[in-house]
Amino acid sequence: MSQTQLTQPARRPLRICVVENHADTRHMLRVLLRQQGHDVDLAECLVAARALFDRQAFDVLISDIGLPDGDGWQLLEDLVRQQAPPQHLFAIAISGYGTSADHARSLAAGYRYHLVKPVALASLLPLLREAADSAGLTTEA
């Protein structure tokens, strides 16, 4: 085995949880992210998202802020608080809320980025590459 093979990170898809209450947006994100080679699970609300995180670990959270049973800010704060020990989670907010206060609140809650809808795949791809790099992974995206 060469030195290069020993130092390359293991290749696997990102495990992504998409939390979005709008069904068409949720399913389109799944299709687009799977086409990029990622594993994607979907939730339509806080309760469903928490249930997914109770069952498995994710590398990336892509969450809407306005959800029918709460908001994405509280979701991320809860997820970070319940992780023992804390795990790496790269969080991206997507929202129709686009004021500077909304951006600031997303960053304060722990999101790395706050994207305003509609979100283009081209906007997500560099963020997913950053997520893969920060998790020690590589992606084909």
The Cα 133–Cα 22 span in angstroms is 30
User: CB neighbours (10 Å) of residue 74?
Assistant: 14
Does the structure show a pLDDT above 50 at 6?
A: no
Can you give the residue range of the structural domain that contains 67?
Answer: 12-134
Distances, alpha carbon 96 to alpha carbons 58, 80, 81, 92, in Å = 24, 24, 26, 13
Q: For residue 71, tell me if it sits in a domain.
A: yes
Instruction: Give me the CATH number covering residue 73.
Output: 3.40.50.2300
Question: How many structural domains does the chain have?
Answer: 1
In a domain? residue 17: yes
For residue 28, give the amino acid letter.
M
Residue 140 domain-assigned?
no
**Predicted local distance difference test score (pLDDT) of residue 25:** 95
In a domain, 129, yes or no: yes
pLDDT in tens, 13-23: 999 999 999 99
C-alpha closest to that of 135 among 93, 100, 88, 91: 88
Render pLDDT for 79-129 as a digit per residue (tens, 0 to 9).
988 875 556 789 999 999 999 999 999 999 999 999 999 999 999 999 999
Whether 141 maps to a domain, the answer reads no
Question: Is 106 a domain residue?
Answer: yes
**Position 5 in a domain:** no
pTM of full prediction above 0.85: yes
